[in-house]
Structures are given as C-alpha cells and as structure tokens.
Amino acid sequence: MAVEGIDPIAASAITLDASQERALGLFGEGSNVALFGRAGCGKSEVLRRMIASAVAKWGSDAVAVAALAGSAALLVGGQTLHSLFGMNTRRLSRETWLRETLLRPQVCARLNALRVLCIDEVCTLSSSLFSRLGYVMRRVAPPHMQHLPFGGCQLVGAGDPLQVAPVHVTDESMDRMVFDCFTWRSVFDGGAGKVACLTGAHRQAQDATFQNALDRVRWGRADRSTIELFNATSSATFSAPATKLRILKSAVQDINHAKLATLPSLAHVFVAHDVMLSTDPQVMDEALTSLRSCVDVSFSVKVDAPVILTRKVDGVAPGTRGIVRDVIQNSVIVEDEEVLVESVMCDFAGVRVGVGRVRFSAYDHTGTEVAYSEQVPLLLGWALTVHRSQGLTLDAVEIDFTLDSWTTCGLVYTALSRVRSFAALRVSGLRRDLIRASRCALAYYEKKLVEEGINPVDDGRPPVVG
C-alpha cells in the first residue's frame, strides 16, 4: 500500500478559503495541479484533501504521497520519493535509473498502478531530479501512455519557490529550480495542468504585522525597520522552552544533549531495535544508512523534557511539540510470553498520549522491506534543524543568526515562518544581507500570479527597498 496514515476526517475540520477551493476543484476535474504560495497558506492542507478524495475514488494502491525529505513526507502521511521509486540516493543518469527500474518488476508494477502522485515540498526537488522521475514514470507506463507527461499519472505538487532552494541549486548553477525544466512545463504549464497560487495566510492569521514582515523577508525586500522588528524579540520570554533552529544536525544534537543533562530526573534510554531481513552485506549496509538517517540508535529522554512527535500517534499530528510527563511500563502477552513495553507519556497541549515504539522500514531496489527499526517516534525539542522544521508549525522558536551560515536563498524565510506570531519568536543577529530570494524563483512566481489574475502586491509583494 502506497499511502499511510491518511485521516480524511481530521482533514475535513477546516473550511478552505476560495483559492484552496479553486485548486481542489481543478484537481477534481483531473488536472495536474501545482500548489504554490507563502508558508502557511494551506498547501499541505489542500494536498491532504486531494489525497483523501483520490483514495476514496481510486483506492490506496493507485495513490502515492511522497516528498524528498522523510520529515516532510511524514507530515502528509507519505514516504520519501526514493523509497517510492525503489532507489537509493545515488545520482544516476536517467537511462541508468530507467535500466535499474526495468529490472525490478515490482517497482514497475507499483508505479504503473498509480493514478495520482502527490509530492509535497516539491520546490525542494531540483529540475534534474524532477525530470528523471517524469522520464521513469513515462517509460514504465503502457506504450499508448508513454507520450504523456508522467505516463498520464495525475500529478500534484505543493511548495513555495521562495522557501529554501534545493541543495546545490543557485541562480547560477547548472542544475536549476524544479519549475525551470521541460518536464515541469509539460505537466503544469501546458493544457494538462496549472500552477494554482494560494493566497491565504492561515498560519500567521492572528498577527498581520508579523505576516507583513514575513512577506518582506520572503520577497527578499526587508528594510531596516523590518529587521529591527525581528531583532526586537531578542529578549522575549516564553512559558515553555522555545525550539532553537540551527542549520547543522551536530549543533542540534549538542544542544539537546546538554539540556537533557540539566534535568534532575532519571534518563530513560530507548535503544533502537534493528532487525535485518536480508543477509546481503551491501543491502544491509545501505539499509542501515537509510534507517539511521531517520531513527537514532539511542534516544534518551527524561520527565519534563520537551519533545517533537515524528509520526502520527492517537490522532496527534507529526510535528506537534509536547512535554514528557512519565515513562511507563506495561506488560503485554506476545506469543504466550509476558513482555514489558515502555511508552513515553507525553502532554501535547493538554492531550495526554502514550508514545510507544513504531516500525521504521528500509526498502531495497525492488520495494521489498529489507530491514526495520523499532523506536519511539520522538525527537528532543530544545533544538531542531531548519531542514527538519520545513512544513511544521512550531509554538515558539529561537534563532541566533550570528551562528551558522544563513546565506542560502529562502533559508531565513523558511526558519522565521515556522511560528504564528512575533510573540512566538526570539531572534537575534538578523542582518539584511542574510535575507535572499532567488531571482529566478521570484520571476517565475510573479509570472504565475499575474497569469492567475492576482496582483503580486495583493499577495504580499512589498515595494523594492532602496
């Protein structure tokens, strides 16, 4: 089954705005749809509705939901693109990729069965990766469908071209932004599809001044007074600890471990239960690398530690922040034997949930599970990488811009736009030269707004800064 964790009931609790309804309508008519818009305009929300309606119509095997990063995929109940396409992350030419895919009948059958493919955070893909996906989809399709983009599979992409650009892609690089290729144009710019611009500002709906300042950062047009507004939050205090956003994983680990050490309670250590289902050393090696990228070998936690959920548990969405209240042991009977199972009792904004181990799987080139790891789906919440935070709404964030290198286009905007208001930010050291937007992304986005009949000024484009 290609889709996990879709909850159509939860998805229906919010009333969509007019731009979201319009995009949903286009999807219902069978169009390919790219959902563009600022952080928090509700792209992922619409994507979830589309997924729910496609699953109801075609069945779950005909619908795949994916993202490049595992953390982004989890937010919409999907899988990584590489696991969907049965590929590891080696960079292959399109012909080699196709040849390897054709050797795997199960992968071909799975891709062939797809009627709808949804990719969240699609702007984190480079144009070369997107083109290769399209090529493979076309070539595994039945002969009479091979002339169609993605072999006739309906495609939905959701993303913000003005958030952080793909790794190694700049305005000058050979590889380009995802929308800057023939495959993208044939899917979304021709008769078969449309780029739908969502114009809402839902995450920041309660703080218009914050939304306005964020739009200035998003368009790379932050003036001195906007920067001052952000830096003025430097002495903010919060009732619960704010999440520090950093760029490097090693910095995040150091902060979390140091903070954990300051808590007086006893540490509970959850060692990952890794199970290998293959004996091939090379397959095992790759499987282990893939597992370690999403599951730490040991997770230590204490009562009162802040945590972030990475999988949906008891209706609580991945990305939700909570506080550990207790670690409990339950005895359960497994195959006539009594086994002690530990769960972390967490408080997620007043909702108490017992978080136990879940299964994280690694797949080989045929799409077969070759190893899995059982671990609690939690991260310590004192610090998080910006990369992992993309797509999340966080309750309170702290960023010291004098640490790390923030000059990548869209990175500052991605980090600042995780919260709902100025009251949820503690920022220091923000400078104008760190706020950069890709020229190529701005030009494409503006063009799409105008084509949609939306005045870019009405969608938050600020005046040029002198």
Ligand X SMILES: Nc1ncnc2c1ncn2[C@@H]1O[C@H](COP(=O)(O)OP(=O)(O)O)[C@@H](O)[C@H]1O
Rounded Cα–Cα distance for residues 204 and 181 (Å): 33
Q: What are phi and psi of 150, to 5 degrees?
A: 50, 30
Q: Kindly tell me which residue out of 306, 377, 391, 460 binds Mg ion, with binding defined by CB under 5 A.
A: 391
Rounded Cα–Cα distance for residues 123 and 68 (Å): 10
Tell me: does residue 14 bind ligand X (CB under 6 A): yes
Burial class (CB in 10 A: 0-12, 13-18, 19+), 19: buried
Residue (of 453, 420, 429) closest to 199 by Cα position: 453
The answer to whether the beta carbons of residues 78 and 60 sit under 8 Å apart is: no
Q: Kindly tell me which residue out of 393, 408, 414, 438 binds ligand X, with binding defined by CB under 6 A.
A: 393
Question: Which of 127, 390 has the CB closer to Mg ion?
Answer: 390
Q: What are phi and psi of 114, to 5 degrees?
A: -75, 130
CB count in 10 Å sphere of residue 156: 28
* Residue 48: CB minimum distance to Mg ion, A: 10
User: Which residues, numbered 186-215, are part of the site for ligand X (CB under 6 A)?
Assistant: 200, 202-203
Question: Which one-letter DSSP state was computed for residue 91?
Answer: -
Question: Which of 118, 327 has the CB closer to Mg ion?
Answer: 118
Tell me: does residue 44 bind Mg ion (CB under 5 A): yes
Tell me: does residue 42 bind ligand X (CB under 6 A): yes
Question: Which of 37, 381 has the CB closer to Mg ion?
Answer: 37
Tell me: does residue 343 bind ligand X (CB under 6 A): no
Q: Which amino acid appears at position 437 of this protein?
A: A
Tell me: does residue 40 bind ligand X (CB under 6 A): yes
Question: Which one-letter DSSP state was computed for residue 165?
Answer: P
Q: Kindly tell me which residue out of 2, 3, 11, 16 binds ligand X, with binding defined by CB under 6 A.
A: 16
Tell me: does residue 20 bind ligand X (CB under 6 A): yes
Stretch that binds ligand X, among 9-17, 135-143, 400-408, 453-461 (CB under 6 A): 9-17
Q: Kindly tell me which residue out of 3, 6, 26, 41 binds ligand X, with binding defined by CB under 6 A.
A: 41
Tell me: does residue 43 bind ligand X (CB under 6 A): yes
Which residue is nearest to ligand X, using beta carbons?
42
Contacts of 257 (CB under 8 A, 6+ apart): 300
Provide Rg for the chain, Cα atoms.
22
Binding site for ligand X (CB under 6 A): 14-17, 20, 37, 39-45, 200, 202-203, 393
Binding site for Mg ion (CB under 5 A): 43-44, 391
